[in-house]
Amino acid sequence: MSAAEIAAAVRSGALRAVDVVAESLARIRRAEPELRAFVEVWGEEALRRAAEVDTRVAAGERLPLAGVPIGVKGRRRGLRTAAPLIEAGCVAVGATSVPGPGTPWQTWGLGAYGRTVNPWRADRTPGGSSAGSAAAVAAGLVPLATGSDGAGSVRIPAAWCGVVGLKTTNTDRAGLTAPGVLAGCAADAAAYWQVMAGERRPPSDPPTVTADSSADTTRHIPTTTPTDTTRHVPTATATSPTDTACDGSTSRTDTDSLSPALTAAWSPDLGFAALDPDLGAIARTAAQRLAVAGVVRLVGAAPHLEDPASAWLTLRTPGADPTPAHRIRAENDRRLDALFADVDLLLTPTTPNPPHGHEGPGDRYSTALTWAFNLSGHPAISIPAGFDADGCPVGLQLVAARGREALLLGVAREAEGRAGLRVIPVPGG
């Protein structure tokens, strides 16, 4: 069940939070020896917290995320960050894995049982540093998990595990890191954002998505069917007007729900990244599907940015002279500001490469297409774009002007409902 479905059922009394959390803990116990997505599981505490949620619901509280089990990145510090979600009714079931010591690269995780594996390919990494959060959501252990994104640490594992990953606008550009979430669908990511942005109402039918949207603009998800069940490489099918929505309601497809003025520029490489051609083709096809479905109108070409690698590394190096980094950041800010003055969205592949093996990425930066937006502060979301020939998920990154998370989430929801770009459950998960 999605987070929105769980919350609606708990609020109505159809489910108890205690039972929902107990089922999540049972799934974790079954999966963890192989998946290794958690460093700690808080079983007794989670059940106690779930009982408290049931008590609050029985007392008449309308908790927007009542009884939703979540994974938390960052152990007890992560719990502090997740405090608004817990106040809204979420129940933290454990701390998710992050990279361990000994490697300069961060696209992996170390759980209590060892290295976290990609739910789609155990011989590949799930990405990182929000490794366990992405793996746990993809494997169906929890519908939501928190993350943090300093260079792509939410978006990269979202892409490689085939889930939705939102990086929010950087409020502290000096630190480069922004909060984020890993989710099984865009509506659940929107529920996270609604709570974190300070809205306490339960999710309801959203308004129309337009180029000027500033509210929660989510809609519905279609069903999809794998075309090759031996390799689990899925192809999305058309949605039915009566498909069940991610929030548990029945929704119709509204082909007029997006403004025709919503525009997007496509860039395969931002002007500097070395892109795997097959992966680029999959992401490009996903962008075209958005256009064909009327979700966006592709216009023009995106500007070339200066490669942010040296700037990002300099700003993370104590004692380094930041002057060259500030020059690159200012120039890219200028180019991106000019872009978003003309278009609503920038579309790119989320990563230039597919998930690498557990031995590491070699000399490639998997962050090549993501860390520019940690430097610039723009919000960005990775949504599923498809699967490569090896059965590994590929992500499509959507970037918007600062503060426009709601627009990203609304487009992501329309991408699910109208273009078929949605999360596919891991077989056997």
Tokens representing residue 142 in the block: 């929890």
Annotated catalytic, 153? yes
Residue count (the chain): 429
How far is 282 from 90, CA to CA, in rounded Å? 35
C-beta of residue 103 within 8 angstroms of C-beta of residue 110 = no
- DSSP-assigned letters across all residues of 218-268: ------EEEEETTTTEEEE-PPPTTPBPTTSSB----TTSB-TT-EEEE-S
Helix axes 17-35, 131-138, angle to 10 degrees: 110
Candidate list 97, 129, 148, 382, residue with the active-site label: 129
Give the helix ranges, DSSP H, for 256-360. Answer: 277-292, 309-315, 323-342
| Contacting residues for 130 by C-beta, under 8 A, at least 6 apart | 73, 96, 98, 145, 147, 148, 149, 153, 154, 157, 165, 180, 182
How far is 183 from 45, CA to CA, in rounded Å? 23
How far is 396 from 267, CA to CA, in rounded Å? 11
CA 164 to chain CA centroid, nearest Å: 3
Candidate list 2, 24, 73, 376, residue with the active-site label: 73
Annotated catalytic, 12? no
Candidate list 97, 153, 251, 366, residue with the active-site label: 153
Annotated catalytic, 376? no
C-beta of residue 383 within 8 angstroms of C-beta of residue 377 = no
Residues that are catalytic: 73, 129, 153
